[in-house]
Amino acid sequence: MFAILKKELWSYFGNWSAWIIIAAFSLIAALFLFFFDNDSNIFEIGMASLQSYFVLVPWLLMFIIPALSMKTFAEEQQTGTLNWLFSQPLKVSDLVFGKFLSVWVVGILCLIPSLVYLYTVYVLGVPEGNIDLGMTFGSYIGLIILIAAFSGVGILASSLSQNQIMAYLLGVFMCFIMYFGIEQLASYKLLGGADFILQNIGFYQHFLAFTRGLIDFKDVAYFVLIIGVCLALSNHFIQKKK
């Protein structure tokens, strides 16, 4: 598993793809937070808070994480190297988990430049340091867990696809449905009391609790379950290709 993790990380950072993705992610976030005239602009809001960042980032991750995960299995199958991996002395589960960890690690690294935003907001606060660090810390924990969930969904999409383009489009679609689609469907209140159950199937409500500074065991357990199901399904579909 660690051999696969190192191999994947080298493939991301060895050809500049990870650096470009991290830079693009940080640039887009900075433009929305400090330059573009929109509801996420910190200067327009007039509050010493990164709340708008934590609202914006999941939408960026919907496109970034599938871009990272699309190559994990779809490219291996497209280039024919998947059969070579099957011939190596490693379990399919180690292969799946190693690739999942690599996507998760790169996704977390995308958040590192945001510490500059945190410092900026901390300094600009009146008085200096007038920022809810508990809520900010909880939101970062929520983002790290959400990245893991998106990574699991992306790995599943890649294991189902024959090529990288299909893996990317399927990954974006599945992430969108899990984060926003289910939440919007529940908001129409078409199912009566079942809408509450439907609402809790999606990512949004569980991530929202973290952005309020609440780290609840139920929300953590939910994301762990989702990640486990995605990886188990990925393992099953890759086993069928063996």
Task: Kindly report which listed range (13-17, 167-171, 194-198, 214-218) carries the lowest average pLDDT score.
Answer: 194-198
Contact 72, 170 (CB under 8 A): no
Write the burial class of residue 125 (CB in 10 Å: 0-12 exposed, 13-18 middle, 19+ buried): middle
* 178 assigned to some structural domain: yes
Considering only residues 49 and 165, tell me which one the structure prediction assigns the higher pLDDT. 165
Which tens digits make up the pLDDT trace of 56-105?
999 999 999 999 999 888 888 888 788 888 888 888 899 999 999 999 99
Q: Which two tokens stand for residue 171?
A: 């990954």
**Closest by alpha carbon to 5, among 53, 70, 72?**
72
**Mean pLDDT of all residues in 106-135:** 86
Rounded Cα–Cα distance for residues 194 and 91 (Å): 40
Q: For residue 127, say if its preceding peptide bond is cis, omega within 30 degrees of 0.
A: yes
* 14 assigned to some structural domain: yes
* 158 assigned to some structural domain: yes
* 19 assigned to some structural domain: yes
Rounded Cα–Cα distance for residues 104 and 144 (Å): 8
Neighbours of 187 (CB within 10 A): 11
Rounded Cα–Cα distance for residues 5 and 103 (Å): 9
* 29 assigned to some structural domain: no
Distance from the Cα of residue 81 to its chain's centroid: 26
Rounded Cα–Cα distance for residues 163 and 106 (Å): 21
Q: Which two tokens stand for residue 29?
A: 């976030």
pLDDT classification of 224: cutoffs 50, 70, 90: very high
Task: Kindly report which listed range (60-64, 131-135, 196-200, 203-207) carries the lowest average pLDDT score.
Answer: 196-200
Global pTM reads 0.92
Rounded Cα–Cα distance for residues 147 and 187 (Å): 24
All residues at 6 or more sequence positions from 66 whose CB lies less than 8 Å from its CB, including other chains: 150, 154, 157, 167, 168, 170, 171, 172, 175
Which tens digits make up the pLDDT trace of 9-43?
888 888 888 899 999 999 999 898 888 887 778 87
Q: What is the pLDDT of residue 76?
A: 83
* 34 assigned to some structural domain: no
93: containing domain: 1-23+54-109+134-241
Q: Which two tokens stand for residue 216?
A: 């609840």
- What is the number of structural domains in the chain? 1
* 39 assigned to some structural domain: no
Q: What is the pLDDT of residue 191?
A: 65
